[in-house]
Structures are given as C-alpha cells and as structure tokens.
Structure 1
Amino acid sequence: MAIGFDYGTANCSVAQLVNQEVKQIPLVGNDYYIPSTLSAPTAETVSEYLFRCLDIKPIGEIGESVLSRAMKMNRNEGIDVQADDVRFGQHALDLYLEDPKEIYYVKSPKSFLGTIGLRDLQLSFFEDLVCAMMANVKRQAEASTQQDITQAVIGRPVNFQGRGGDASNLQAQGILERAATRAGFKQVEFQFEPVAAGLEYESTLTEEQNVLVVDIGGGTTDCSMIRMGPKWVGQVERSESLLGHTGQLIGGNDLDIFVAFKNFMSEFGIHSLRKSGLAIPITQFWNPIAINDVQAQRRFYGSDNLIELKSLMGESQVPEKLARLIKVQQNSLGYGLIKEAENAKIALGEQAHYEASIDLKNKLLTIPMLSEHIKDAIADPTRKIQALVKEALAQSQTKPDVIYMTGGSARSPILRDAIQSVLPSTPIVAGNYFGSVTAGLARWADLRFR
C-alpha cells in the first residue's frame, strides 16, 4: 500500500488515494493530524527505545556508537526503557507541561535537519528522533487501514535551511530517507510540498491556469509557480509545468517566536540595563524561545548559563524580571512560552483582544495583547515571505492567474493581506489549509507506485 506522508514541522498526516478520491487516514482516534512532538525520560531513551522496543537497528558505526552510548547512560541513570516511555503528539506535550524539567521534549525536529556544522553523532541522533516519529505514524496508519504500508511519497520544503542551501537540502533529505527506511518503508520518494499542494488544487480545475502556490507551513514558506489544468493531470513527467520555486526557513514557528520575543520578553527584562548602565545581552532573551535553533537552546539551558543569569540578576536594575528569566531556564519553560504565543496569534486573528497567560510555576503572569501587536511582531518574517513571492515571480517570468494559499499560517489575515499587496489584482483561493499537501502527496504516490 502506498501513502502520501506529510512529515510536517507542526503536524504529521498521511493519506491514500482510493478510486481517485483522497482518503486521509486517522492517526490518533478519529484525528487525522498528530503534532510533530516527542517526549521521553531522557534524550538517550529514544535510541534505545528504537532498538529494544521496535527492533529498529542503527545504521553504520556512528549509529551503533549513538546506541551504545545511550544504553550505557540509561543504565547509569537506572532507566529500564519500556515501550510507553516514548510519547508522541499531544500526549508528549501534556506530559512535558506537567513537569518540564524532568522530561526530554522536542518539537519539530524537521527544523533542525538542514543545520550545517552539526557533528555526525548529532545527525545520527536526529535520525533516531525522526525514525521514532515516522515509525509511530506508520504503526497508527496500519492499525487504521488494517493494511501493510510499504511505499510513501514524503513531502519536503524547497529549502530546508536558508536560500539555495544544496548541502543543507541533501543532508536533511538524507536523514528523512534513512529514517523512513528504518521505520519500515520499502520504497520512498520525495515531492516538493508546494507542488503537492498544487496537485490537489489542480484536481479541481477544468481549464489551464498559471498558479502561484504559497505554502506557509510550520517551519518553512515555499512558493511554486506551476502550470496546471486537465492536460497535466496524471502526468509523471511535468518538468515543463514547473516554472519556479523559492523557499526559506520561515514558518509558523518563526511567527510564534517573534510574537513571544516582541510581546513577552519585556516581562523578563529585555532592553533593561545593569546598574553600570550596560545593556543585558539580547541573546539571553532570544535563545530560550528559539526552539528551531539547536545551538541557541543548548547555550541558554546549559548549566554555565545559569551562573551567568544569576550574575546578571545581581547586576540588573530590574532583578525581579531577571528572576523570571531564571525560572524559564531552570524549569525549561521556553516551549510553554511559544505555545502561548501561538495561542495569542490564533486568537488575535479572529478577535481584537487577548490576555496571554504564562505559567511560571510559582506565579501566573498575564499580558494583555491587541491584534496590532501581532502585526508589529511578525513584520520582519512578513517581509521575507513577500520577498519569496517576488522571487518566484522573477524566476518564472509569469503572472499568475490565481494565488493558491495553503499551510496552517496561511489562515492569518495579516499574511494574506501582505501577499495580496504584492499581486493586488490576482485572486487568492484556499483549500484545506492543513490537508492539501497530504492530499497532493497521496495523488503523487498513486502515480509513482501504481
């Protein structure tokens, strides 16, 4: 059986084509989407979980070294790895929020995969994370369909990291392919996510159109200019229809980070001064919420930084605010801040006021917010998304007949207005914000594996 597999930054979903109709496959009860999150007692639990509980073996000397090190550390910590130690999706987040300091938690590992400069051991560990998540999705989908799933077309962004990063793209796609193979898929292919979204839209067309697909996902924004219509449906070779692609590491996660940075960090001492008049380093307020930056997270949550933060609190003109930042560091609250920023972003897309609520464990901090606060906060990523649209237009030298917007963050009226301002006379249409990529991948899987 072949599926389309959207291994997304925010959520994972899968679908199959049955009698030319896309059928999404439930993954958690009746839910078609599972958040791209994982939790475990420790990071090392994941590698041993794959080997001991799922009989998934590592690849090569590096993978074996990661497993050996994990098993040794687990023994030293007295951890006897069990199947239910590793949680996924909302279950993972719920467990983490109960006690952030005692749980290893990762959101959106896809955001890390293209990072250049990581050591081989780190890359192998990321492969284990992705493999565990893919294996869970595969098992849940097989339980829902009562069929073995052996073939998959997996979506990928145009660029995993920055612009034109060929090395990043090769590294990231390699991790995804090895992880999927280890998870049990016998045949794996990839398709650009905006192209997949376009394929789903194309199935509704009765005439030829030039379509600008704008896919604003959790981790990346991708734009593709595509010739679409009945003459292309069912064509495996369609390079002549693909007129231009642009993409960058800007997505819903980045919007949430900017919302938290611009609206929450004043309560933790950003732009405050030491008694000497010198500023507190700005990185101390960015790093805790930069959940898509491995190195930033490591720097903020390292034990040596706790010493630095305590020193800064002693020197600060507003020590009570730096004390809150220390609470974030000691209790690993960065993900909680980003979750509340996401809640605010969604709420203020539909209403004028919202009161953000941040749990500091010993105190509840409330921050009143207005809809214009979101627009101001995401001004920089908004400009970058507009630049991607302009770049796709320049590449293709084509004026679109329609703009097809998809991805969870495409619901934002701020981003829709920003894209409309680039092409004021071109109509914007939208389909299933969360499911169009998955549906298009399912259609491509049916073509490639029939």
Structure 2
Amino acid sequence: MSDSILAIDFGTSNSLVGAFHNGKTHLALPVDPKAADPSMMRTLLYFPNPDLCYYGSEAIQQYIEQDMEGRLFRSFKSHLPNQNYLGTVLDNRILTLESMVGIFLLELKKRAEKALGTTVERAVIGRPARYSMDPVADGFALHRMEKAAAWAGFKDVQFVPEPLAAAFDYRKEIKEEKIVLIGDFGGGTSDFTLIKLRPDGFDKKDVLAIDGCPMAGDALDSVFMSHKLNEYFGAKSRYRLPMSSNVLSMPVTITQRLNHPAHIVHLKEKDTYEFIREVRKSSLTGKDKESIDRLFALIEDQQIFPFFERIEKTKRDLSANAETDFDFDYPGIEVAEKFTAQQFIDWAQTTREKIFESLDQCLQSAGVTSDQVELVCITGGTAKVPFIQKEFEKRFGQAKLQTQSHFHSVLGGLVESAAFWGHGQKVT
C-alpha cells in the first residue's frame, strides 16, 4: 500500500489517468498501449459473453474480430443522472450501471497501478459541472459515481469539477492574475468555470462560479439522427394493430433511444425488441416494413457503433466544409445523404442555446460581465465546432480566445489536485 493518488479523467468518449506518486506528479499514464495515443483510452466496454470484457482500443478490435457478436457499450456515463436507467442484462446476468462504470474504473486502476508499480486506494476523479440540470438527478449521478468508485476498490475519493481542473492546467500559461473563463466541451457535457487565476497558489475563494449543462458532442451527433437519418430506421413508420382501426406511429420512447449513441444499444433488450417486431408485423406499407428491417439489420448485425462513428465523422467534416456526403453501404442498411454546414447549424440551435444559457448563468452567478473576463480558454473536441467558436468570439472577442485543443487539460488539473491532496490540501 502506498500514499499514491490516482487522477482519473473519466469521460463520455475518452478516459485518461495520471497520478501523484512518490512526491511527484505523473501526467498521462500509458493505460491503452494499443491506442494511437497510449495515454487516452476510449470509454468502451465490449462483452463477447457475460464472463469476458474488453476495454478501449482492444474492445473495438475484438468487436470486429468476433464478427460484432455480443454487446458493445459506449457513452454509458451519460446514463448516470437517469434514475429510470438501472442497467442492462447480459444473457441472464444483470449488469447495473454502477457496476458497468465500476468495471471500467477498476481496469483503469489496474493499468495505472501496473505503470506505477504499486497499489493505489485514493483517487481524484473529475466530474462535470452538472450531470443534469435537475439538482436531484445531479446528486443521484454523483452518488452512483461514489458507488462505482467503491466497487473499483477506491477507499477515499475526491470529485473535482472538470472545468476547475482545466483551470489549474491553464494557470501554467499566465504570468499575472487574470479573471479566466474555462470552457470544457466533452462528449456528454459542456462545463464552465470562472476563476481568478494567478501563476502560483490557490484559494477556494478564487473560484467565482462553476456551471454547465449535460449537452455536448453526443447531443450534436444526435441531431443528424433526429432530423433526418432516423427515418431510415422506422422513426416515421406507421402501423395498425390487429382488431384496431387506429393508425399509430413509432412511439417517442423508441425514437428517442434511436437518436442517441448511448441509448440505441438498448433497443436490443427483449421487451423493446419484441415490441418493434410487432410494429413491423402491423406496418401499413412496404416502405414502413423496409425501414424497420433496416433497424433490425443495424441492431442484429452490430452496426450501431460504425454507424455513429460515421455520423461523428460527418460532424467533423462539416466543421471544415460547407457540405459533405454521408454514405453507409452495409448490406441491408444502405444510406446515402448529403448534409450541409447550414443544416447542422440550424438543427443544433437548441443544443447551442442550452450550452450558452449555462455560460450566461455562470457569468451571472459570478457577478462578472463578458468585458471583465480577461482570458477565455476552451478545450475538448466539441470546442472545434465552428459555430461554438464563433459564439465565443462574438461574446468575448477573438483576442481573448485561446482555442488550441488541450485534450489533457482536465487531466493535468486533476493531477495537480491530487498533488494538493498529497500535501494535505483539498480542492473542493
């Protein structure tokens, strides 16, 4: 047993681990040797059967090699605030969400311990400013994370807001005290911190406000499904049940799952799947049946992950181009569409508004105007989306904006938080 402390950036899309060990900070431990960046592990679990699990890059590799049989889970962090989502079933084995997160955290812990050569029972774990806009759901999500961390074998855990951690990392780049806004855009959440940063030292009073919302990269991906692509998979299918004259359309509960990368995998669960089968049998037209057959192919042939990877590529393409072609040519799921950057902007309007409402709330809570903010640092993959950047430029001016992508910013700050803790000072 050692006095070491792990720093874990558990993300919706990617996860990283650092440490405070033997009095020194260790940034970005090699937790995924098969990844292009070994310090970054995709937040993925793949169960070819209930007794075996693969993680990160190996999860994708094994998923492909095993003909996409079994269950692949992505974006499962986004379920944390949902009190109606308890978990899933693998064959006849119940897998709760807490144990799903715990399994992943335990694997990160084991790999970090191997790199450090010691066992570790303390951890600083990043958390979004808000898992949910509902305070009860937000508290419920944090409680689940506490249970998952305990499941993974951690005996003492501090949860540090991710934008605050990013602020610690950006502090290295300033030479005098400034009021700084940090925007951290991940797969599941958009988080903001207003803080007085200075080159050395930290006081809790320096944190002026923290806010955020549970919308970011995945929410932007989902607009392509909700506005267009879901109709290829039965979202607009109509049906009439036997002995009834009522014409019905696919229930919202099904289409909502269909639209989101974290939720669509659960269409495979028995009761939901059987319901969709009944809808197909009762479909009004051949076209309605065809779209549901396409949904069955997407689910049964394990094409959900590659389909949403193609959507994410479309989002990236539209960040650099005025239009792009979406082509998915798997047999039985042939989809061809053309998307424009303007469509993306229009469809993402609600998501964009909610993200910047949380920024406005952060400024208001701090009693700070945009003119008083001296430096704006935005990080994370979604920060690269042009209409996100332009909104920041409009509010704060281009001169204040620092937009280089620091995928390790949150981790760097969590490692610094671990060092604070190691020296007897807690951050939160």
* Range of TM-score over shorter length: 0.7 to 0.9
1:85-105 deviation line (CA, Å, top 9, x unaligned):
201112223444567873122
Shift of the alpha carbon at 1:204? Answer: 1.9
**Paired AA for residue 104 in structure 1:** R
Counterpart position of 1:74: none
Distance (whole Å) between structure 1 residues aligned to residue 60 and residue 88 of structure 2: 26
Choose from 84, 87, 112 the match for 1:141. 112
Shift of the alpha carbon at 1:253? Answer: 1.1
Give 1:172-187 correspondences, 5 Å limit: 172-187=141-156
Q: Structure 1 residues 13 and 120, CA, compared in 2 at 3 Å: closer, same or farther?
A: closer
1:302-345 deviation line (CA, Å, top 9, x unaligned):
23322243145344655433432343344454433322111111
Matched-pair contact (CA < 8 Å) for 1:273–1:280 = yes
Structure 1 gap segments, 5+ residues each: 46-80
Structure 2 gap segments, 5+ residues each: 424-428
**Paired AA for residue 260 in structure 1:** M
Counterpart position of 2:214: 249
**Paired AA for residue 219 in structure 2:** D
Give yes or no for the alignment of 1:220 onto 2:227: no
Structure (1/2) with the larger helix percentage:
1
Counterpart position of 2:426: none
What is the percentage of aligned positions where both structures have the same residue?
Answer: 22
Choose from 199, 204, 216 the match for 1:239. 204
Give yes or no for the alignment of 1:365 onto 2:335: yes
Matched-pair contact (CA < 8 Å) for 2:25–2:415 = no
SS of 1:148's equivalent in the other structure is coil
Matched-pair contact (CA < 8 Å) for 1:386–1:419 = no
After alignment, is 352-361 or 200-209 more displaced? Answer: 352-361
After alignment, is 140-149 or 5-14 more displaced? Answer: 140-149
Distance (whole Å) between structure 2 residues aligned to residue 178 and residue 265 of structure 1: 35
Counterpart position of 1:93: 60
Choose from 203, 206, 216 the match for 2:175. 206
Shift of the alpha carbon at 1:372? Answer: 2.9
Choose from 18, 25, 30 the match for 2:29. 25
Give yes or no for the alignment of 1:418 onto 2:391: yes
Counterpart position of 2:306: 336
Q: Structure 1 residues 363 and 216, CA, compared in 2 at 3 Å: closer, same or farther?
A: closer
Choose from 128, 153, 178 the match for 2:124. 153
Give yes or no for the alignment of 1:350 onto 2:308: no
Q: Structure 1 residues 325 and 311, CA, compared in 2 at 3 Å: closer, same or farther?
A: same
Q: Structure 1 residues 14 and 398, CA, compared in 2 at 3 Å: closer, same or farther?
A: same
Q: Structure 1 residues 335 and 278, CA, compared in 2 at 3 Å: closer, same or farther?
A: farther
Q: Structure 1 residues 114 and 268, CA, compared in 2 at 3 Å: closer, same or farther?
A: closer
Give 1:239-318 correspondences, 5 Å limit: 239-268=204-233, 270-271=235-236, 280-281=249-250, 283=252, 284-293=254-263, 297=267, 302-311=272-281, 313-315=283-285
Q: Structure 1 residues 97 and 266, CA, compared in 2 at 3 Å: closer, same or farther?
A: farther
* TM-score (normalizing by structure 2): 0.83
Q: Structure 1 residues 320 and 26, CA, compared in 2 at 3 Å: closer, same or farther?
A: same
Distance (whole Å) between structure 1 residues aligned to residue 212 and residue 355 of structure 2: 9
Counterpart position of 2:421: 448
1:138-193 deviation line (CA, Å, top 9, x unaligned):
122222233333321100011112x141x323322222223223323343111000
* TM-score (normalizing by structure 1): 0.79
Matched-pair contact (CA < 8 Å) for 1:313–1:322 = no
Distance (whole Å) between structure 1 residues aligned to residue 246 and residue 298 of structure 2: 25
Give 1:58-73 correspondences, 5 Å limit: none
**Paired AA for residue 33 in structure 1:** M
Distance (whole Å) between structure 2 residues aligned to residue 13 and residue 393 of structure 1: 29
After alignment, is 380-389 or 275-284 more displaced? Answer: 275-284
**Paired AA for residue 283 in structure 2:** M
SS of 1:203's equivalent in the other structure is helix
Q: Structure 1 residues 214 and 34, CA, compared in 2 at 3 Å: closer, same or farther?
A: same
After alignment, is 15-24 or 424-433 more displaced? Answer: 15-24
Counterpart position of 1:10: 13
Distance (whole Å) between structure 2 residues aligned to residue 263 and residue 97 of structure 1: 27
Matched-pair contact (CA < 8 Å) for 2:208–2:366 = yes
Counterpart position of 1:436: 409
Distance (whole Å) between structure 2 residues aligned to residue 321 and residue 101 of structure 1: 22
SS of 2:6's equivalent in the other structure is strand
